[in-house]
């Protein structure tokens, strides 16, 4: 063990962070739901480069799960997570209980409109309200100078940026690139749900993205034809069911018909019961 501090209450975090702030330190926050992998750890490593003190939160936020989603089965690997964070050089792990984040009488919800209506927002009603609310709470507790989020969750990133701007939260939002397995599958805590056959076929997502990038490099600009080619590649994975696939503007998340500027190709795919999301920026 190095010397990571494990804290469970808001009061403890406040005390520690106040000390850091008084010492003139720049504070970085990496919010997570645990079951940590290299994607999370890459954010920690960026945070260590950008901030003097790095606090990672692990909180499986009930407010962002819909009924019938995987809240009760969400993977939990606390001991390994603590060890990984310690090795990575994080200074503090905040691991609060649900009551600590949502005390009795809690009545507030943050809703970012527009950006939350399509892509995942369409299929997970209320999800982004849960995400925005918990991030606002965490920002309020830690009052970080910088918060770190992955591009893997592109819609989440857009929503957080909008919230921080709109509410003048004074937090710099730093995005980290998507970290992938050797076969291209974006790392995700939910990958552990995949059985071996599903896991094998899930590499089709990144293969389909390579095909899309190849088409764009050859001059294709039509969203329908790009998405058609993606569907064709994923169609070769019989266990895959596409929930949505859309080319959108990276900032507004509005549908793009013709690729004139960098656009986000975003997808959600089921492999069995496991829902995977991924995205790539296509540049004309």
Site residues for ligand AMP, 72-111, by CB under 6 A, read: none
> Quick one: tokens of 216?
């764009």
> Quick one: tokens of 265?
């190709």
Segments in the chain forming alpha helices (H):
10-22, 38-50, 78-88, 98-101, 120-123, 127-142, 154-166, 196-201, 204-217, 223-235
From the list 165-173, 181-189, 199-207, 255-263, the region that binds ligand AMP by CB under 6 A is 181-189
Say if residues 55 and 28 touch (Cβ distance below 8 Å): yes
Nearest distance, CB of residue 197 and ligand AMP, angstroms: 22
Closest CA to 54 of 27, 20, 25: 27
- Choosing from 39, 130, 144, 250, the residue that interacts with ligand AMP (CB under 6 A) is 39
Q: How many CB atoms lie within 10 A of CB 23?
A: 9
Site residues for ligand AMP, 141-160, by CB under 6 A, read: 149-150, 152-153
Say if residues 20 and 144 touch (Cβ distance below 8 Å): no
By CB under 6 A, tell whether 278 contacts ligand AMP: no
- Choosing from 179, 259, 265, 280, the residue that interacts with ligand AMP (CB under 6 A) is 179
By CB under 6 A, tell whether 116 contacts ligand AMP: no
- In the sheet that 274-282 helps form, which strands lie side by side, from edge to edge? 240-248, 263-271, 274-282
Nearest distance, CB of residue 244 and ligand AMP, angstroms: 18
Which residue is catalytic, options 40, 111, 174, 255?
40
**What are the residues facing 57 on neighbouring strands?**
31, 94
Instruction: Give 161's contacts (C-beta < 8 A, 6+ positions apart).
Output: 173
Alpha-carbon distance values, 103 to 16, 56, 100, 137 (Å): 21, 21, 6, 12
Instruction: Examine the residue annotation and report whether 40 is marked as an active-site residue of this protein.
Output: yes
- Choosing from 27, 29, 33, 245, the residue that interacts with ligand AMP (CB under 6 A) is 33
Nearest distance, CB of residue 263 and ligand AMP, angstroms: 19
- Choosing from 7, 20, 28, 32, the residue that interacts with ligand AMP (CB under 6 A) is 32
- Choosing from 45, 116, 133, 178, the residue that interacts with ligand AMP (CB under 6 A) is 178
- Choosing from 43, 46, 82, 138, the residue that interacts with ligand AMP (CB under 6 A) is 43
What are the residues binding ligand AMP (CB under 6 A)? 32-33, 39-40, 42-43, 149-150, 152-153, 176, 178-179, 186-189
Q: Which residues are catalytic?
A: 40
């Amino acid at each position: 063990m190095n010397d990571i501090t494990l804290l469970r209450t808001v009061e403890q975090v406040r005390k520690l962070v106040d000390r850091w702030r008084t010492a003139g330190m720049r504070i970085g926050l990496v919010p997570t739901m645990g079951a940590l992998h290299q994607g999370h750890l890459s954010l920690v490593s960026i945070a260590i480069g950008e901030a003097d003190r790095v606090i990672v939160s692990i909180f499986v936020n009930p407010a962002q799960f819909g009924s019938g989603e995987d809240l009760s089965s969400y993977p939990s690997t606390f001991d390994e997570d603590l060890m990984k964070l310690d090795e990575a050089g994080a200074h503090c792990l905040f691991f609060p209980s649900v009551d600590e984040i949502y005390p009795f009488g809690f009545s507030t919800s943050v809703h970012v409109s527009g950006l939350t209506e399509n892509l995942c927002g369409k299929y997970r009603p209320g999800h982004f309200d849960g995400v925005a609310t918990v991030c606002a709470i965490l920002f309020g507790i830690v009052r970080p100078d910088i918060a770190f989020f992955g591009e893997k969750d592109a819609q989440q990133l857009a929503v957080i940026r909008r919230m921080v701007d709109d509410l003048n939260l004074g937090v710099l939002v730093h995005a980290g690139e998507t970290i992938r397995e050797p076969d291209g599958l974006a790392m995700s805590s939910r990958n552990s749900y995949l059985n071996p056959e599903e896991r094998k076929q899930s590499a089709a997502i990144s293969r389909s993205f390579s095909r899309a990038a190849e088409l764009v490099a050859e001059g294709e600009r039509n969203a329908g034809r790009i998405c058609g080619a993606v569907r064709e590649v994923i169609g070769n994975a019989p266990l895959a069911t596409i929930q949505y696939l859309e080319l959108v503007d990276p900032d507004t998340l509005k549908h793009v018909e013709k690729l004139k500027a960098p656009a986000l190709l975003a997808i959600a795919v089921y492999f069995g019961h496991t829902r995977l999301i991924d995205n790539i920026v296509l540049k004309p």
